């Protein structure tokens, strides 16, 4: 399985990554991508800061991807996750999966996201008009792991 | 000697990202007890272990995990990436 | 909900569509895309021809998208499906969903694909070295609908 | 007058994509019986109804659906898009 993992401060080009992902792999008929962006529901978010654990982050992401590889028929996997300061609407991260079968591509992408959310060492801090606060983990994110 | 790392609000409460510690603790829980006994900022940071996670040598583990041979322990809140 | 449905013979630019999809919607944190390409497992596929039912196709796709809108919290939906002749490795179609919640975006995209497969009037004919044949519907595609 | 459309291998077996038919059939099933009685190519195309799907006025339906007021009926194999 082709596996590419990028943990970086710089923005990434979602369109170009989607376009190039699994390109030329005529055996893989199904590609699923997920992109997460800095959400601003109320309109008063100034920005976000993402902290991570250099060294562990890459290992954790690779372990999650290898677990997915063992469970589904995957030809290519891509994970990109940014850290550092981000503005509202900016893309935080993406995953992409390619498989001969659409069900495998979908399930693997959702699995990667569920595990990445709760098992990869990233922490988000939001800065709004009235100050900064660490984003709390949601029970539903931990619960999402029970499905797998 | 052990490298102890703190992330997110654990780092902020303790006031530093990393320190080297001379310890004879044999488990993570013993290390936490040593740290809590040091100063109030540690006491505050480690007040509720259910809201903390721990990694030994960059692998997620539990608070009863042994420290034998460990080089690096990290404490942090539940992850919120994605 | 913003809904865009394109049924066309011309190629589409998957990267550009991914890039522009839900752009500027800061309330939608999660984007899922699916792309299907002409698969060539054995290496002896010459091409594919997709026939469709003009008039019904657009209606069927819109009905499927409206059904998804009723079931999940969706801000934007995009469906593009080509017809006519396609070469191995070319993109046949894509769907994209944007939601405040990743679970909604994933489930809606998989739902759209499952229904599109078996309820939108497209038919594939493959031409290989030893002749042309209509692709047979798979039982698993009909079974996939039972999940919803 | 009814427009009857054929797609994919149904179209190929019958040899045309569309025809206008004068019919008194009140259901899809009656229309199919009329067509089968016409010529062998229809008999062949409609030999196994379980491998066919039907739409009346561009909505998927069943073979026992009524034809009253219908303007367009289409016959085709199970769909294979995506």
D17: phi then psi, degrees, rounded to nearest 5: -85, -20
**Contact (CB<8Å) B80/A135:** yes
What is the phi-psi region of residue A22: left when phi exceeds 0, alpha when psi lies from -120 to 50, beta otherwise? Answer: left
Q: In whole angstroms, give the CA distance from residue A9 to residue B40.
A: 34
Is residue C14 scored above 90 in pLDDT?
Answer: yes
Q: Quote the CA–CA distance of A69 and A65 in Å, as a whole number.
A: 6
Please return the burial class of A131, using the count of CB atoms within 10 Å of its CB with bins 0-12, 13-18 and 19+: exposed
pLDDT, tens only, A75-114: 999 999 999 999 999 999 999 999 999 999 999 999 999 9
Residues of A in contact with B8 (CB under 8 A): 51, 123, 125, 134
pLDDT of residue C41: 79
Q: Estimate to the nearest angstrom the gap between the alpha carbon of A41 and the chain centroid.
A: 20
Q: Beta strands of D1-82 (E only): which ranges?
A: 2-6, 18-21, 53-56, 59-61, 72-76
Rounded to an integer, the average pLDDT of B41-62 is 97
Structural class in CATH, domain A2-146: alpha beta
Q: Tell me the domains of chain B and their CATH numbers.
A: 2-76 (3.10.20.30)
- List, for residues D5-41, the tens digit of each pLDDT value: 999 999 999 999 999 999 999 999 999 999 999 999 9
Interface test with A, best of C12, C14, C99 (most A CBs within 10 A): C14
Task: Please tell me the predicted confidence (pLDDT) of residue A128.
Answer: 93
User: CA A36 to CA A26: how far, in whole Å?
Assistant: 28
Residue A24, phi-psi category: left (phi > 0), alpha (psi -120 to 50), beta (remainder): left
Work out the pLDDT band at B58, boundaries 50, 70, 90.
Answer: very high
Q: Which residues contact A13 (CB under 8 A, 6 or more apart)?
A: C19
Neighbours of chain C (3+ CB pairs under 8 A): A, D
**What does the domain layout of chain A look like in residue ranges?**
2-146
Q: Chain A contacts of B82, Cβ < 8 Å?
A: 36, 92-93, 113, 116-117, 120, 122
CA atoms within 13 A on the CB side of D79: 23
- What's the pLDDT at C40? 87
Closest by CA to C97, choosing from C130, C119, C69, C59, is C69
Nearest alpha carbon to residue A25 among C88, C48, C44, C94: C88
Q: What are the residues of chain B with a beta carbon less than 8 Å away from any beta carbon of chain A?
A: 5, 7-9, 11, 55, 58-60, 74, 76-82
Q: Taking 90 as the threshold, does the pLDDT of residue C100 lie above it?
A: yes
Nearest to D74 among C53, C81, C135 (CB): C53
pLDDT tens per residue, chain A (148 residues)?
899 999 999 999 999 999 999 998 999 999 999 999 999 877 899 999 999 999 999 999 999 999 999 999 999 999 999 999 999 999 999 999 999 999 999 999 999 999 999 999 999 999 998 899 999 999 999 999 999 9
- Is the model's pTM score more than 0.90? yes
pLDDT band at C42 (very low <50, low <70, confident <90, very high): confident
Shortest Cα distance, chain C CAs vs residue A54, angstroms: 25
**Angstrom distance (rounded) from CA B24 to CA B30:** 9
Q: Which of B7, B78, B81 sits opposite A81 (nearest CB)?
A: B81
Whole-number Å distance between alpha carbons of C21 and C40: 29
State the pLDDT at residue A135.
96
Which ipTM score applies to this complex?
A: 0.95
């Amino acid at each position: 399985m082709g596996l590419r993992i990028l943990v970086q401060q710089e923005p990434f080009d979602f369109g170009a990554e989607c376009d190039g992902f699994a390109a030329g792999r005529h055996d893989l008929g199904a590609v699923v991508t997920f992109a997460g962006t800095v959400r601003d529901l109320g309109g008063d978010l100034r920005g976000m800061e993402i902290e991570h654990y250099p060294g562990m982050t890459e290992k954790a992401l690779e372990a999650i991807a290898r677990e997915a590889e063992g469970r589904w028929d995957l030809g290519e996997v891509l994970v990109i996750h940014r850290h550092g300061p981000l503005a509202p609407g900016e893309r935080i991260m993406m995953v992409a999966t390619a498989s001969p079968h659409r069900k495998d591509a979908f399930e693997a992408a959702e699995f990667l996201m569920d595990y990445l959310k709760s098992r990869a060492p990233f922490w988000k801090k939001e800065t709004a008009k009235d100050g900064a606060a660490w984003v709390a983990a949601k029970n539903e994110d931990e619960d999402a792991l029970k499905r797998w | 000697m052990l490298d102890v790392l703190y992330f997110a609000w654990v780092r902020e409460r303790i006031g530093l990202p990393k320190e080297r510690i001379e310890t004879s603790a044999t488990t993570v829980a013993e290390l936490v007890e040593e740290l809590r006994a040091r100063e109030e900022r540690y006491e505050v940071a480690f007040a509720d272990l259910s809201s903390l996670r721990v990694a030994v040598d960059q692998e997620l583990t539990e608070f009863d995990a042994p420290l034998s041979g460990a080089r690096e322990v990290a404490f942090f809140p539940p992850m919120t990436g994605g």
